[in-house]
Chain A
């Protein structure tokens, strides 16, 4: 398998707290990787390290390395804005901007200097189609995005992330704030999107990990305990702690 993101001896501290301990992990392209583990185990922190969103927190210290397509993301000549363009993100709570649906999706392309009106229209439509929300919003593109339902807002945020044509999509518990119907729509969407993108998804929902992911990584107290094919992790876990967690003995 070809890996698109690789973590090498990655350590991360929030002030004095050692939040990630010696993580080594290769994430394959064009597949879904699920990160599971109890709250506070470091899976979200790991996810946010991959596009350097942790830069926004002042007290963070990082050692080790993460490479994207073979280049270190912490390198001096790595442009963090380009990195985030290639490694897009969908957040736990839908966070559309308080502007029109169109402007939300066009925000990323415009940020990267995309001004041609016709091409912008095409990009926006394509992103909305890819996020399976085009049919619902095509007649109200100029309406404020905050008027959409929670599930629609989350799919809009996915469209917004897709509009800059990323290679990787990071999803931080994207369905935890949504109802079951919206959840299953997002899951179907993820399965379609993995044809074109590498998707890394943090989830608290074991069934979700089983349903959609190809690989699963189990985190506990900042350590990567076990990582492998999803069916192997859930059918024959190698580590006792993994087994305890997926059978619901703690967490």
Chain B
């Protein structure tokens, strides 16, 4: 009896160790594989030039810039909309039932496959003013709107009611209370929502394949927004799938992974910074 039990414990433990080991191995294998295959191809020339058939060279500077443009444009569109909607729904709206329905809908929307946003964005934006970074940014704005709105709402709700009461009790109007007491208390939530959105934009490819196109032309931000362009993720797809340039594809993959790491790190740091400031 005792022997049987010992064997059982041994087997369960062994199985758990094996699962953990496999998970860790897969994770490090993926990281290592991408870095080993990618990092040797990251050269200054790759980062700082545009592709040229004449010089027989590939550069991803346009893709880097396109990624930055699309992140900026998306945030400029999504921030005021998302934060504004969150303020209205949390602070002003009186009909709690409608608000609950809207919140539920927003949560559902944030779980929809991005390819669907791409399809809608193509019909709504690209078909009207052409395949362009702007069409891509608008599509991504719609895609990130629920996330930004919900994270802002949640952080608005964490601002203690007693702050609002204190300010109202001094004769402050609603907007002044929100601007001077409520919003400063949830800046960290809004910034965290933004950082999460940047991560999503950085990693998005499906929705952009439909709407922003594949071009590798070097543009300034204004011409860039009105012309088609590939972001890093789209460029990765194009170089790997259509041009067979696996070295470049892995270089981009390594860059994206480093950027994702940095974004997660900054989200953690922002959270810590504000937690510290609040307790100071």
**Residues on A facing B (Cβ under 8 Å):** 51, 53, 56, 58, 81-85, 88-89, 91, 93, 95-99, 107-108, 111-112, 144, 147, 157, 160-161, 164
Nearest residue in B to A80 (C-beta to C-beta)?
B171
Which 9 A-B residue pairings sit nearest by Cβ, starting from the closest? Answer: A85-B171, A95-B162, A89-B169, A108-B170, A84-B171, A81-B171, A95-B166, A111-B172, A81-B173
Alpha-carbon distance A203/B166, docked complex (angstroms): 19
With A93-B162, A95-B163, A98-B278: A51-B173 Cβ-Cβ less than 8 Å = no
With A91-B162, A95-B160, A98-B185: A84-B173 Cβ-Cβ less than 8 Å = no
Q: Are A88 and B166 in contact, with the CB atoms below 8 A?
A: no
Q: Are A56 and B171 in contact, with the CB atoms below 8 A?
A: no
Alpha-carbon distance A235/B51, docked complex (angstroms): 96
Alpha-carbon distance A35/B42, docked complex (angstroms): 76
A172 CB to nearest B CB, Å: 10
Q: A95-B166, A107-B172 are in contact. List 13 more A-B contacts (CB 8 A).
A: A58-B94, A81-B171, A91-B165, A91-B166, A93-B162, A95-B162, A107-B170, A107-B180, A108-B170, A108-B172, A111-B167, A111-B172, A160-B166
Q: Are B280 and A147 in contact, with the CB atoms below 8 A?
A: yes
With A107-B180, A144-B280: A53-B168 Cβ-Cβ less than 8 Å = yes
Q: Are A107 and B280 in contact, with the CB atoms below 8 A?
A: no
Total residues of chain B contacting the partner, CB 8 A:
21
Q: Is B176 interfacial (CB-CB < 8 Å)?
A: yes
Most buried by B among A83, A88, A108: A108
Nearest residue in B to A84 (C-beta to C-beta)?
B171
Residue-wise, chain B 151-170 has the 8 Å CB interface mask toward A (1 for contact) of: 00000000010111111111
Alpha-carbon distance A164/B170, docked complex (angstroms): 7
**Contacting residues, chain B, for A144 (C-beta < 8 A):** 280
Residue-wise, chain B 80-118 has the 8 Å CB interface mask toward A (1 for contact) of: 000000000000001000000000000000000000000
Q: Are B162 and A161 in contact, with the CB atoms below 8 A?
A: no
7 contacts between A and B (CB under 8 A): A53-B168, A56-B165, A82-B171, A85-B170, A91-B166, A107-B180, A164-B171
With A93-B162, A97-B181, A144-B280: A107-B167 Cβ-Cβ less than 8 Å = yes
Nearest residue in B to A160 (C-beta to C-beta)?
B170
**Contacting residues, chain A, for B185 (C-beta < 8 A):** 98
Alpha-carbon distance A71/B172, docked complex (angstroms): 21
Q: Are A111 and B168 in contact, with the CB atoms below 8 A?
A: no
Q: Are A111 and B176 in contact, with the CB atoms below 8 A?
A: yes
Q: Are B169 and A51 in contact, with the CB atoms below 8 A?
A: yes
B213 CB to nearest A CB, Å: 47
**Contacting residues, chain B, for A161 (C-beta < 8 A):** 169-170
Residue-wise, chain B 168-210 has the 8 Å CB interface mask toward A (1 for contact) of: 1111110010001100110000000000000000000000000
**Contacting residues, chain A, for B168 (C-beta < 8 A):** 53, 56, 84
Nearest residue in B to A83 (C-beta to C-beta)?
B171
**Contacting residues, chain B, for A82 (C-beta < 8 A):** 171
Nearest residue in B to A109 (C-beta to C-beta)?
B170
Nearest residue in A to B177 (C-beta to C-beta)?
A111
A123 CB to nearest B CB, Å: 13
A111 CB to nearest B CB, Å: 5
**Contacting residues, chain A, for B164 (C-beta < 8 A):** 56
With A98-B185, A107-B180: A112-B166 Cβ-Cβ less than 8 Å = no
**Contacting residues, chain B, for A56 (C-beta < 8 A):** 164-165, 168
Q: Are B171 and A97 in contact, with the CB atoms below 8 A?
A: no
Q: Are A97 and B169 in contact, with the CB atoms below 8 A?
A: no
**Contacting residues, chain B, for A164 (C-beta < 8 A):** 170-171
Alpha-carbon distance A111/B172, docked complex (angstroms): 6
Alpha-carbon distance A118/B275, docked complex (angstroms): 34
**Contacting residues, chain A, for B162 (C-beta < 8 A):** 91, 93, 95
**Contacting residues, chain B, for A112 (C-beta < 8 A):** 171
Alpha-carbon distance A160/B181, docked complex (angstroms): 15
Alpha-carbon distance A65/B276, docked complex (angstroms): 48
**Contacting residues, chain B, for A147 (C-beta < 8 A):** 280
Nearest residue in A to B172 (C-beta to C-beta)?
A111
Nearest residue in B to A96 (C-beta to C-beta)?
B166
B243 CB to nearest A CB, Å: 55
Alpha-carbon distance A160/B173, docked complex (angstroms): 17
**Contacting residues, chain A, for B173 (C-beta < 8 A):** 81
**Contacting residues, chain B, for A157 (C-beta < 8 A):** 166
